[in-house]
Amino acid sequence: MGRHRKLTQFLSLLIGNLYLLPWRESPIFQGATKRICFPGLNCYSCPAATMSCPLGGLQNALADFRANLMLGVFHPGAYIIGTLGLIGSVLGRIPCGWLCPFGLFQEILFASPFKKIALPRFLRYGPFFFLIFFVILFPLLLVDSLGYGQTFFCKYVCPAGTFEAGIPLSIMEKDIRGAIGLLFYYKFTLLIAIVLWCLVTSRAFCRSICPLGAIFGLFNRISMVKLRFNKDNCVECKACYKICPTDISFFDNIDNINSPACIRCMKCYKICPTHSINLVFEPILKENKENFQEN
Amino acid sequence: MKRYASLIVFFISILLAGYGLFTNEANILWQKAITICLSCIGIG
């Protein structure tokens, strides 16, 4: 399963960034597939990106919401919210563990031989903070005189934008290179800090910052695909806890097996010696059975 | 009700996405996505 997951992650990276033509006319891809939301953090300003980042799209929709209303147009970002809901209601946070290119990048970084540091538990609330303030409230409420807001998460936080778009575009385009200022240096420093953090802490960005993970995480407990844990079979060897990249501890009931923090990488499923963990597809929840942790 | 939560969310999401498509939101997303986002790259 580990190899399958890596293969899926690399395939997703390739499909989401397939515009690698050397004879390109525009610095970024402008094809029809950019109408599709990519189920992971993949900046649409990346020169190779073939799809749209749902976080960027959602912030843009909310930033323009009031100005559009003043013009008598109602565009609340329903297409993006609906797409995220569709993915989340079926898969929960599976895209985080299997499809997200920035998740793959963090896993590669964490494979480094540096001493590892655990993430404090309270930082699990970080993604919800960034989702509520930087993705929803600030773009919606902090607007100019014409009613237009800004994409605050993209502008002040997102390291994927700097890594996938800022750096390559500033190398490729002379005009962009000339416009580099304080904001770019701030974002570059932030990117370096996050990279260094990811070298020592597993999935540090996903667990403490990523608002897209927070959105998909909200669906983990109700999604059609979910994890099941049979406590009767469990011998409490802690193998699942030791291998979990997000430090979820469900064998001792500290966390739920379908916790919003779970990225569903399925490492626990693979390592469990007693096969106490299962992945099930349940569009309609079955009645709670004794010893089966469901919700 | 809780038993059907995933199905309810699924169908509401289909309605939302459908409404978004109907009101041209996919094209608005495309227009944003084909221009370089200065905020994303950190220069504007």
Q: Tell me, what's the ipTM? A: 0.96
Whether the pTM exceeds 0.80: the reply is yes
Nearest CA-CA partner of A16 in A83, A94, A86, A100: A100
**What is the structure's pLDDT at A290?**
43
Task: Give tens-digit pLDDT for A228-252.
Answer: 999 999 999 999 999 999 999 999 9
Distance between CA atoms of A41 and A213, rounded to whole angstroms?
Answer: 9
- pLDDT tens-digit readout, A43-101: 999 999 999 999 999 999 999 999 999 999 999 999 999 999 999 999 999 999 999 99
> What is the average pLDDT across A119-139?
97
Residues of B in contact with A176 (CB under 8 A): 36, 41, 43
Closest CA to A87 of B14, B28, B26: B14
Tokens 């959602």 label which residue? A58
Chain A: residue whose CA lies nearest to B11? A86
B31 in contact with chain A, both atoms CB, cutoff 8 A: no
- By Cβ distance, the residue of A45, A180, A295 closest to B36 is A45
CB contact under 8 A, B27 and A35: yes
pLDDT at residue A292, as a whole number: 53
Question: Cα separations (Å) of A10 from A91, A97, A166, A170, B9?
Answer: 19, 12, 22, 25, 30
Is B29 close to A81, i.e. CB distance below 8 A? no
Binding-face residues of A in 120-149 toward B, CB within 8 A:
none
In this prediction, residue A288 has a pLDDT band, given cuts at 50, 70 and 90, of low
Q: Taking Cα atoms as reference points, which of A120, A105, A93, A232 lies closest to residue A159?
A: A105
B20 → chain A, closest CA residue? A79
Query: In the predicted model, what is the mean pLDDT of residues A146-173?
Result: 95
Helix (H, G, I), strand (E, B) or coil at A281: strand
Q: Cα A131 to the chain's mean position, in Å?
A: 11
